[in-house]
Amino acid sequence: MIIGIFLLIAAWVCAIVFGIIAAIKANNGEYYVYPVAIKFVS
């Protein structure tokens, strides 16, 4: 249970950080792909 709580917190922090990075890139007019995103259509 302790490990699950730490994983949940780590996933939450990563989501916040990646969201901020994506927002900065979008504000600069750049295209941003999330690091763990799966490309379903090439």
- Tokens describing residue 41: 């259509």
Instruction: Give the chain's largest Cα–Cα span.
Output: 42
For the whole model, what pTM was predicted? 0.70
Report pLDDT for 42. 65
- Tokens describing residue 36: 């763990």
Report pLDDT for 6. 96
19: three-class secondary structure by DSSP = helix
Residue identified by tokens 């730490």 is 6
Residue pLDDT tens, the chain, 42 long: 889 999 999 999 999 999 999 999 999 999 888 777 777 876
